[in-house]
Amino acid sequence: MSLVKDKTVLISGGTGSLGKVLTRRLLNDQANLPRKIIIFSRDEAKQHFMRVEYQQKNRVTDEIIYEDFHRLVEFRIGDIRNYHSVCSVLDGVDVVINAAALKQVPSCEYFPYEAVQTNIVGAYNIVQAIKEHKFPIHTVVGVSTDKACKPINVMGMSKAIQERIFIAANITVPSTRFICVRYGNVLASRGSVIPLFHEQIKNGGPVTITTADMTRFLLSLDRAVDTILTAMEEASPGEIYVPKVPSARIVDVAKALIGSRPIETVYTGIRPGEKVHEILVSEEEAWHSFPRGDYYVIKPMLPELWKPALNETPLTKEYSSRDNVLSLEQITELLKSHNLDIDSEIKYDGEFLR
């Protein structure tokens, strides 16, 4: 039986790319439908457009019926940074998926305290609300990033602390299971490089690349959702699930999208806070990280949460995007398999690009 069947699921930051695909997947599983999905965010415009899409209206000017609390998908305006707002929305919830984040690396570098408020204080508010109000919440999933591993930027630093807040919460709030997922670049998510490349190619170039050596992990939004759903079903308290995914040189992603078009590429240099290569499991974490099917599982270091691994062999080195890099041909096939090649009609949050 699915963990979410007949349960109330809260997705904080639910109007983002991940939240939309996660909501769609939960709704498509008719045998395990939740009782309710709550989309919690502070942007009323994004909620409106998502509501339009959910009700299958053709235009945003079509009549929208706001029977919010009578529908399977409920929209709640609120802010993860506001403790009282979090307390209010958690009442009656069974499962929390915390996808609310400030995730743009340069933005977090220029406004570090804003990243702290969302990525750290937001997570703390969830834990504290459950503890103080004794909410009977079964599971909380923290959505993290490869940038939290050996972080050099504010976004990664704040996400690394978010992981630790959720992991430690298993000790202070033992009635709730707190787990995390950690993954790399999501193909075609809002603000990612592929929509940028599409737009630059559509406008005739140039395509901007930071450095020829840069590599990144690549996974689809559906694979990201798979990671969340698998962790929800399988993870022990305090574990971090990391998907086994390919990586690619960003310059090869650009070449695959450009194809034979006469479009120039320009190297702009690494942006503030960026790495050349990303890491999903560090060498320090390898000793307590184990393969589990299509994932690596990072076990918590806290002795109160540590469970000895039976018949499992830990990793012997870090899991880096510089390893197992796809060829240009493999990248081209990967993009085509997800309908992300430049000749496909792509939709990014309501806008079509060619």
Show which residues are catalytic.
Answer: 147
* CA dist., res. 282 & res. 315, Å (int): 10
Secondary structure of residue 70 in the 3-state scheme: helix
Name, in order, each residue with C-beta under 8 angstroms of 352's C-beta and a sequence gap of 6 or more.
345, 346
Which segments of the chain does DSSP mark as H helices, in order? 17-28, 44-54, 83-90, 105-110, 112-115, 122-133, 154-172, 193-202, 221-234, 250-258, 283-286, 328-337
Name the token pair of 270. 């690494």
Total residue length of the chain: 354
Tokens representing 267 are 């190297």
Closest to 180 in 3D by CA, of 234, 125, 228: 228
The residues facing 98 across adjacent strands are 12, 142
Terminus-to-terminus CA distance in the chain, angstroms?
A: 41
The whole-angstrom separation of Cα 122 and Cα 332 is 38
